[in-house]
Structure 1
Amino acid sequence: MTTNQSILLAGASGVLGRHITRALTDAGHKVTGLGRGPANGVQADLMDRDALLRAVDGRHFDTVVLAATALRKAPLRHRDMHETNALRIDGTVHLIEAARATGARRLVAESMVFGYGYGDHGDHVITEDDTFGPQGATAQLEQHIAAMRIKEQLTFEATGLEGIALRFGLFYGPGGTDAILPMLRKRQLPVADDQGRVLPWIDLVDAASAVAAAVEHGRPGQAYNIVDRTPLGFAAHVRAVAQQFGLPKPMTVPLWMMKPMSYAHVMMRTTMRVSAAKAERELGWTPAYPSSHDGLAALKAAA
């Protein structure tokens, strides 16, 4: 599974999808977008099984990449994740059926490091050997984790397909970081004190290059963590964005004040150190930006 593949990309019009399209095209592959918008070569809704199967009827693809999301902005409350949770389960079921119908051999699915569980993982460095999809501490968290757990199970157990999952850190970079700049400019993005908490990050361009590497070199049935080498607290990252772009320093508030933003509050209470050594070793992939400080500097230089 190397170059000159015909690839169906679900979510091609999204922020990550646009970067993936560029990375795959640069690697010599032919990419066809799948989505609801008219710019897609295959126009269909992943949640509409029958329409999706009609849309791919008579088409052939070597590989299918699932990078679709229902999120249009950063999720703040638990309910903001409900549509994405449904997409992770039902949308994956439908896309697997469509992939088989097109004769595809490989399925590369977007996953997230939060599937290892929200909360404080302490100093432990998480690898792919750690349990993915543990029972959520609350009913709401179980909904989110179950969606990620089931999505990966569906990917790995899809008969006739070589399933691979990429567990991404938090995204930033071209097309992503831009969204928070107006909020920082108006001081509308408060942050909670990190107090030693850190999270894994990944630049969107680096994430896309990992997808291209997985398409060509990923081992069937394997998951790969896709993160940079420098975990950083959420507040520290936002402050770095403000500093890099010469914007006002965000207001720092006690963590308890973020409780009304229930999902963001849980995320900000999480500490995760995640290793991407397996991806670097097996996929031949290395993040161009070892830290978000490096990536943000490059983003500012390109602005």
Structure 2
Amino acid sequence: MTTNQHHNVLLAGASGVLGRHIARALTDAGHKVTGLGRGEGNGVRADLMDRDALLRAVDGQHFDTVVHAATALRKPPVRHRDMYATDALRTEGTAHLIEAARATGARRFVTESMVFGYGYGDFGDQPITEDDEFGPQGTDPELERHLAGMRVKEQLTFQAAGLEGVALRFGLFYGPGGTDALLPLLRKRRLPAPADHGRVLPWVELTDAGRAVAAAVEHGRAGQAYNIADRTPMGFRAHLLRVAEEFGLPKPMSVPLWLTRPMAYAHTMFSSSMRVSAQKAERDLGWTPVYPSGREGLAALRAATTR
């Protein structure tokens, strides 16, 4: 579906960091946004994990498009168990939200996905495209739990009868509302930086991510996934160094990677290395990152916070 018509959008996760950017981008594009979540600020108050309550909450309402950007994360995940509630939202919560989307007469379902759905580990220098395998079998039960969440979320999205399912596979988020939490930790030198040794990961600035969702609502093709990342992959340590330099904060202490093993999920991410191509999104959605690298995105964030 390629259309410039204004959509009535139900946004699950509207009060989250990414959700706020999505809501702003959709509103700026002329769409009407209704938030879905448990908090008072949402137009539809319901818990995605409570199917019956969710269906009661949307009864009698109509939406053209439903966007699933809900997670259970309030801070960056460190241990595997920090991901469990989000894993459940990706499976059971998605199934419930698809039922709700059908009940409201929606035609389009846009879901937030992640580049880690391609797997955890070192993928070398060849950029990953949407044609590469998504949701491979995890190498241990914990990783399989996370990968199954991302795999099932996309499968449900693409296989939902009567809905045009689109998935956006985001890189790691930074920017307004995301990077802010790092600043006091860096200021107090409480955020060590694990050695990168050449490892890089895809990143995307949050306002760019919000704009990508708006582009997918308007131009995404049914049954398609799109990588959403800037053009400059960067390791965790390199990113933290850039944040510290931009905001005039102490340089984070470097630690060997093995020291992060007690933080099992974070260690898995720190140990991974991948590059992804976002050419499909740039071509099909007409989306390009305003901030092609963290250098530009963090400079814009610092400028905005010092006005």
Looking at structure 2, the residues matched to 188 and 145 of structure 1 have their Cα atoms a distance apart, in angstroms, of 30
Matched, 1:159 2:158: no
Question: How big is each residue's C-alpha offset from its partner over 1:86-141, in whole Å with a ceiling of 9 and x where there is no partner?
Answer: 01000000000000000000000000000000000011110000000011111111
Give secondary structure in 2 for the equivalent of 1:165. strand
| Matched residue, 1:91 | 93
| Matched residue, 2:257 | 255
Give secondary structure in 2 for the equivalent of 1:164. strand
| Matched residue, 1:70 | 72
Runs (4+) of structure 1 moved beyond 6 Å? none
Q: Report if aligned partners of 1:3, 1:27 keep a CA contact under 8 Å in 2.
A: no
Looking at structure 2, the residues matched to 212 and 137 of structure 1 have their Cα atoms a distance apart, in angstroms, of 35
| Matched residue, 1:140 | 142
| Matched residue, 1:2 | 4
Looking at structure 1, the residues matched to 17 and 268 of structure 2 have their Cα atoms a distance apart, in angstroms, of 24
Aligned residue among 205, 208, 211 for 2:210: 208
Looking at structure 1, the residues matched to 69 and 5 of structure 2 have their Cα atoms a distance apart, in angstroms, of 20
| Structure 2 residue identity aligned to 1:144 | H
Question: How big is each residue's C-alpha offset from its partner over 1:220-242, in whole Å with a ceiling of 9 and x where there is no partner?
Answer: 00000000000000110011000
Aligned residue among 110, 113, 128 for 2:112: 110
Aligned-pair CA distance for 1:2: 2.6
Give secondary structure in 1 for the equivalent of 2:125. strand
Matches within 5 A, 1:147-186: 147-186=149-188
Aligned residue among 110, 124, 127 for 1:125: 127
| Matched residue, 1:46 | 48
Give secondary structure in 1 for the equivalent of 2:198. coil
Looking at structure 2, the residues matched to 8 and 228 of structure 1 have their Cα atoms a distance apart, in angstroms, of 27
| Matched residue, 1:241 | 243
Aligned residue among 278, 287, 293 for 2:295: 293
Q: Report if aligned partners of 1:202, 1:226 keep a CA contact under 8 Å in 2.
A: yes
Looking at structure 2, the residues matched to 204 and 59 of structure 1 have their Cα atoms a distance apart, in angstroms, of 30
| Structure 1 residue identity aligned to 2:270 | M
Instruction: Flag structure 1 segments of 5+ consecutive residues without an equivalent.
Output: none
| Structure 1 residue identity aligned to 2:168 | L
| Matched residue, 2:271 | 269
Matched, 1:56 2:58: yes
Give secondary structure in 2 for the equivalent of 1:31. strand
Aligned-pair CA distance for 1:3: 2.8
Aligned residue among 191, 194, 213 for 1:192: 194
Q: Structure 2-normalised TM-score?
A: 0.98
Percent same amino acid at aligned positions?
75
Question: What RMSD in Å do the two structures reach over aligned CA positions?
Answer: 0.5
Instruction: Flag structure 2 segments of 5+ consecutive residues without an equivalent.
Output: none
Looking at structure 2, the residues matched to 51 and 2 of structure 1 have their Cα atoms a distance apart, in angstroms, of 33
How many residue pairs end up in the alignment?
A: 303
| Structure 2 residue identity aligned to 1:253 | V
Looking at structure 2, the residues matched to 262 and 207 of structure 1 have their Cα atoms a distance apart, in angstroms, of 27
Give secondary structure in 2 for the equivalent of 1:124. coil
| Structure 2 residue identity aligned to 1:244 | E
| Matched residue, 1:21 | 23
Q: Structure 1-normalised TM-score?
A: 0.99
